[in-house]
Amino acid sequence: MVAEVRGDYPNESAVLRAVAQKLGIGSAETLRNWVKRDEIDSGQRPGTATEESAQIKAMKKEIAELKRANDILKAAAVRSMGRCNIPGRKVTGGV
């Protein structure tokens, strides 16, 4: 809607205020953020698209989980090796 009426107003702020009022949005700044996000997602403005941002967030979460699992496995291996070195104790079975 903002893109459709841009030519009818003298500047971007006026457009945003008018459209926000028509849509019952309390703040023109909220609408400005939505327009900016849409322009990024559609490639009209540089930035990280919503989908890419979600993928990055999911990957960071997965990396953190993998690091935690790796730390647990490392700690278990160290404890296991410590038990193998106890004099007089026989090690049976595999890992």
Q: At what angle do helices 50-84 and 28-41 cross, to 10 degrees?
A: 80
Which positions ≥6 away from 32 have C-beta within 8 Å?
12, 16
pLDDT at 46: 94
Burial string for 23-43 (b: 16+ CB within 10 Å, else e) reads eeeeebeebbeebeeeebbee
pLDDT at 64: 98
**Per-residue pLDDT tens for 1-28?**
998 999 999 999 999 999 999 999 989 9
CA–chain centroid gap for 1, Å, is 28
pTM to 2 decimal places: 0.59
What pLDDT tens digit does each residue of the chain (95 aa) get? 998 999 999 999 999 999 999 999 989 999 999 999 999 999 999 999 999 999 999 999 999 999 999 999 999 988 887 665 556 666 565 55
pLDDT at 79: 83
